[in-house]
């Protein structure tokens, strides 16, 4: 009745994220604009009933001259060592010393200046946003009044879809 979907298969990674501010400086408590490499599509579910509406997700497009003016660490497939400042602050160690935050903040401003916001989705309890994995996006705002506050979400990444070629769905939009 609904078609033969017996050959469909997909992989999806789902995880909860509890994200706190990484500095008391509101200027650098913004999301790093990025793509979800390796994901066909992704989704964010907001799970805090008393959330700050500004802790949502923004969608961006790259400015027309951005790629031409990109720094070496901004280029696709750059040497991971060039992004060490990013890993220092957002990686497992989560360094919060003044120098690490300063280097990260300066580079985040450079990175994010390459984009213009096209959509902002507010953080509303149980709201879900889905988007193409190649879509540039970032958390709208990380600033919180104290270290005890956080943003609670569930994120999902679809990393593999197999299906007969004649049955692949067509995306009518960049957003799912």
**Residue 147 belongs to domain spanning:** 9-64+117-167
What are the pLDDT tens digits along the chain (176 aa)?
566 556 667 789 999 998 887 777 777 778 889 999 889 999 999 999 999 999 999 999 999 988 777 777 677 777 777 788 778 877 788 787 888 888 888 888 888 999 999 999 999 999 999 999 999 999 998 888 888 888 999 999 999 887 655 555 554 445 54
> Is 111 contained in some domain?
no
Query: CB under 8 Å to 29, separation ≥6 — which residues?
Result: 21, 22, 23, 141, 142, 143, 144
pTM attached to this predicted model = 0.80
Cβ atoms of 40 and 154 within 8 Å: the answer is no
Examine residue 175 and state whether it is found in any structural domain, yes or no.
Answer: no
**CATH number of residue 57's parent domain:** 2.60.120.620
Q: How many domains does one find in the chain?
A: 1
């Amino acid at each position: 009745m609904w078609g033969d979907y017996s050959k469909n298969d997909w992989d999806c990674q789902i995880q909860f994220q509890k994200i706190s501010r990484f500095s008391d400086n509101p200027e650098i408590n913004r999301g790093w604009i990025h793509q979800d490499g390796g994901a066909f599509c992704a989704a964010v579910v907001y799970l805090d009933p008393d959330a700050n509406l500004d802790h949502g997700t923004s969608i961006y497009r790259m400015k027309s001259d951005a790629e031409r003016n990109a720094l070496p660490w901004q280029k696709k497939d750059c040497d991971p060592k060039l992004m060490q400042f990013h890993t220092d602050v957002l990686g497992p160690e989560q360094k919060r010393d003044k120098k690490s935050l300063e280097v990260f903040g300066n580079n985040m401003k450079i990175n994010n200046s390459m984009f213009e916001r096209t959509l902002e989705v507010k953080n509303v309890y149980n709201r879900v946003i889905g988007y193409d994995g190649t879509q540039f996006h970032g958390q709208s705002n990380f600033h919180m009044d104290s270290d005890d506050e956080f943003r609670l979400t569930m994120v999902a990444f679809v990393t593999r879809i197999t299906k007969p070629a004649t049955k692949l769905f067509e995306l009518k939009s960049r957003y799912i």
